[in-house]
Amino acid sequence: MAVVAQEIYNGLPVTQSRKDDVRQILLDEAKLSLNITEKGISYDAEEIKRFLDPIELKSGFNRGGGITGFSLPHGYSTRGRFARWTPYSLVVEDARPVLYDDGARIGEIIFNKGNPVSEQLLSTGEKVRDITNISAQGGLHVMYSNECSLKDLGEDCLYCAFNERAKDGALNKVLLKSPRQVAEAYDIARKAGAANHFRITGGFVPERRELEYYLDVADAIKEKYSSFYGCAVVGAPADLSVLSKYKEAGFANISTNIEVWDKNIFAAMCPGKEKRNGGWQHWVDALEYSVELFGKGNVHSAIVAGLEPLESTLEGIEYLASKGVVCHFSAFRPEKGTPLEGYRSPEAAWHWELLDKATDIFRRYGFTTLQMYSGNASGPHSAQFFQIKAGEFEGDKLVPWKFPSLD
């Protein structure tokens, strides 16, 4: 039996067979995460609420209320809506939340905790969390606008609840963040060691206004810092040469989210992107052009998984990877107020096959864990799976990944 001498767990060398066993345990936990997302989870709200973090509850990403995200016993992240009829349940044992599957004990879970710096006040009176979300990986996510102009044009993406979320005034107190507010929140978080990545996105706006806003934010940040590590999530500009301005402003990554790979489904699901940004081919051209500027693995896109056949999604991920683009994906979840409300996402097995095959593509084209986390706001969904396949775990736990420190 071969011994991997450089790896030690509990004072003992880790054998390759042991590592393979742990990898399988973690893969099974990833599958469990997908099943919980599909089938939901039952719990007693009064019992569970004492474990929930107030900062997480007030996050704009917790629009649905209920429980916040949590880590499974071996460290894989998940979240689940409340469901009455589901095999999964949370029970409090010895003052700790424990997950069960149809009566079989799985283990203790840990709820996400918000970064305390989120509660600090800006000079304008808002809290940091009103301007930006601080991720568990030590990065900032800013939605500079909580409204999308495509709604007024009758061209909203059919699956998107962006404008619906804007109605939640308690969770979205600032509809449009000024560059000064963003830069001040960034400064507060960076001083606390929590701004090692900076991602900015927003609703659809005319591209000139979008460019000017992003440049203003970058300039405001650079009044205090010589550089930052960030990703600009933008629409495909009519003039592709404009993309170089984001690079010049200091963004190390850029993301242009195509959302759907099949051309015809793209046109149906994203009527505004089809009409306002040159259509599907122009989005692809923008991504390929961006690789020339930012380099392989530093250009990102996203697909909403479940809006088209699996083969089509994998085709898009493979094609873009071959051009140097990391195409992330998030599971389609029909949201209230959208034209697709009442539809359903494919079952967990469908999303599992996508997750398994897509991460193999990412590894085959040589992308890194840093690049898996540095793109758009698709969360750690595929990045954690990528870590498991890359052997980035300690003992029988998935390593909590953090962005490298900037200071």
> Could you tell me the sign of the dihedral formed by the alpha carbons of 102, 106, 107, 111, in that order?
negative
Residue 231, beta-bridge partner list: 199, 253
Give the pLDDT means over successive 10-residue stretches in the chain (407 positions).
41 68 95 94 90 70 66 93 93 95 95 92 93 92 78 74 60 73 97 95 72 95 97 92 96 95 94 84 96 98 96 98 96 85 93 97 97 82 93 92 93
Q: How far is it, in rounded angstroms, from Cα 374 to Cα 222?
A: 20
CA distances in angstroms from 222 to 73, 230, 241, listed in the order given: 41, 12, 23
The pTM score is: 0.90
CATH of 116-398, one of 3.20.20.70, 2.40.110.10, 3.40.1190.20, 3.40.50.300: 3.20.20.70
Inter-residue contact 255 to 302 (CB < 8 Å): yes
pLDDT digits (tens, 9 = 90+) for 140-190: 999 887 667 666 677 778 787 765 665 555 555 556 789 999 999 999 999
Number of residues that this document lists for the chain: 407
SS3 326: strand
Per-residue confidence (pLDDT) for residue 1, from 0 to 100? 31
End-to-end Cα spacing for the chain: 43
Q: Which of 362, 249, 236 is nearest to 287 (CA)?
A: 236
SS3 213: helix
Residue 300, beta-bridge partner list: 255, 326
CA distances in angstroms from 40 to 44, 305, 342, listed in the order given: 14, 19, 16
Per-residue confidence (pLDDT) for residue 23, from 0 to 100? 94
Per-residue confidence (pLDDT) for residue 6, from 0 to 100? 45
Q: Which two tokens stand for residue 157?
A: 């993406």
Q: How far is it, in rounded angstroms, from Cα 314 to Cα 200?
A: 26
**Per-domain residue ranges for the chain?**
3-111, 116-398
Inter-residue contact 140 to 181 (CB < 8 Å): no
